[in-house]
Structure 1
Amino acid sequence: MRNLPASVHRNNIHRYRSLLATRLSVIRRQFIDLRLSEESSALEALTS
């Protein structure tokens, strides 16, 4: 993932978590789960 500021990753994580709280198809939920994992990993790499 590109070198984005930590705040961008935090905002994306918040948005993905909000989306997961809604009704989604299985495919969309899997995609968002993947993106959430990627964003969390990127944020962890920046803050460690």
Structure 2
Amino acid sequence: MRGYDLLKKLGLNPEEHLIIVDGELYTEDRVIKKDKEVKIVKVTSSG
């Protein structure tokens, strides 16, 4: 499953979240394989 699809399935905005897979930052177009540890981090910005 692509990172983008995972975020959408969870109801999360891809522009507001980072995907970390086994300690490595993934772009939303990368495929996340089964049996991987996935962390989703909300990104905030203040200007």
TM above 0.5: no
Q: Which has the larger Rg? A: 1
TM-score range, shorter chain: under 0.3
The two structures have a TM-score, normalised by structure 2, of 0.25
The two structures have a TM-score, normalised by structure 1, of 0.25
More strand by share: 2
More helix by share: 1
Higher relative contact order, chain-length normalized (CA < 8 Å, sep 6+): 1
